[in-house]
Amino acid sequence: MTFFRFDIDARSRMAGRFIGRVRRELLKTIKEEKRGGLTQQELARRLETRRSDINRQLSGEAEITLRSLADLAWALDREVTVELRRADGVAGQNIAPATSTIGYQPVRIIAPRIIAPKTSNG
Amino acid sequence: MTGHSESASGRCATVVTEVSKNDLAPIALFPGALTVQPMPTLTDLVDSGAIVKIDVDLAPRDQPLRLLYGTPQFVAWLRDVLDGAQPSRQLGHTSITEQLDDLFYSFLSGEQLNFTKQFRVVRAEENAVWELKTPDVRIFGWFVAKDCFVAVFGNWADTIKDHDLYRGYRIAIRRLRRELGVDATLCVKGVAPDDVLSV
């Protein structure tokens, strides 16, 4: 065996990575604010919640709802930007998988995607 | 006397000789006393099956900026997880496979990892053992080079805490590195985050 692909279905992959990215962005911002003197205790005081509740959200033990994301952004004096972008294929990029190998199990189709070729002559 | 020499093929080797009266004498004068143990390269470890490269699907705009390997034992554990293995008490609100996929993705795509929340050194010591973390999973291994991690053990966070397995894993990984002969060449010695990750 030369390599092992940890392969989960596309829907779970998108959810897990999106939630993880939001959490990392919050952690990064809190770290930045910490250098300016903001403590998690102060953050909890601003949000009128418990520090342990914020900790559980940041560690992934509790869900971060849209409301709590907005609240945290407000307490950190940040804006939240949201964009839903079409995942378009461009030459030179990785090709998103259409099949899942799921380790040693038989190949199964999880997200067939057909991208219409672009024509240059219109 | 133990030293390192550069062989003709460009690979390092540990040269072991018996201590002689004239320790400064060229070792070529004592060919019968020499034992040369070639130090394996990363390619050797992969070719011998000691470690296996681990991948996840990257997004169209991503490029792999780090490398992740695992021992066959660790890969077997990952297969169990893909087959649905679960901790007795799940802490995270995403599934175990989602947690692992996100961890591997953020590692391989070169995202800035959060020190202590996503990775940490188990104990500040030379040739340290490192830990990758999700809410429910702990992965133990070492950095063979900057941005290149070898995973050796994976287990549930609550099991490790309940049974205090940190010391056992640390010792087992040190033993494995000795057996593979990689302590001197394929092991990052620093214990600061910047020593093991460049991004």
One DSSP character per residue, B40-62 reads PPHHHHHHTTS-EEEE-PPPTT-
CA distance B39 to A70: 54
pTM (predicted TM-score) = 0.79
| Pairing mode, strands A108-109 and A99-100 | antiparallel
Under a CB-based contact definition with an 8 Å cutoff, are residues A71 and B41 in contact? Answer: no
Q: What is the pLDDT of residues B31-53, one digit of tens each?
A: 555 566 678 899 999 999 999 99
In angstroms, the separation between the Cα of residue A38 and the nearest Cα of chain B is 18
| Among A6, A19, A103, beta carbon nearest to B56 | A6
Q: Which residue of B has its CA nearest to A3?
A: B53
Q: Is A89 on the interface with B (CB under 8 A)?
A: yes
27-46 in chain B: CB under 8 A from chain A: 46
144-163 in chain B: CB under 8 A from chain A: none
Under a CB-based contact definition with an 8 Å cutoff, are residues A9 and A104 in contact? Answer: no
Q: Is A98 on the interface with B (CB under 8 A)?
A: no
Q: What is the pLDDT of residues A55-77, one digit of tens each?
A: 999 999 999 999 999 999 999 99
Mean pLDDT across the stretch A67-88? 92
Q: What is the pLDDT of residues B150-188, one digit of tens each?
A: 999 999 999 999 999 999 999 999 999 999 999 888 999
| Among A58, A59, A89, beta carbon nearest to B60 | A89
Q: What is the pLDDT of residues A2-47, one digit of tens each?
A: 789 999 999 999 999 999 999 999 999 999 999 999 999 999 999 9
CA nearest B153: which of B140, B167, B134? B140
| Among B46, B95, B135, beta carbon nearest to A12 | B95
Q: Which residues contact B172 (CB under 8 A, 6 or more apart)?
A: B152, B153
Q: What is the ipTM of this complex?
A: 0.78
- Residue A90 clears pLDDT 70, i.e. is over it: no
Under a CB-based contact definition with an 8 Å cutoff, are residues B103 and B118 in contact? Answer: yes
In angstroms, the separation between the Cα of residue B34 and the nearest Cα of chain A is 35
* Mean pLDDT, chain B, whole residue set: 84
- Residue B9 clears pLDDT 50, i.e. is over it: no
Q: Chains A, B: CB contacts under 8 A, how many?
A: 115
In angstroms, the separation between the Cα of residue A62 and the nearest Cα of chain B is 6
Q: Which residue of B has its CA nearest to A61?
A: B92
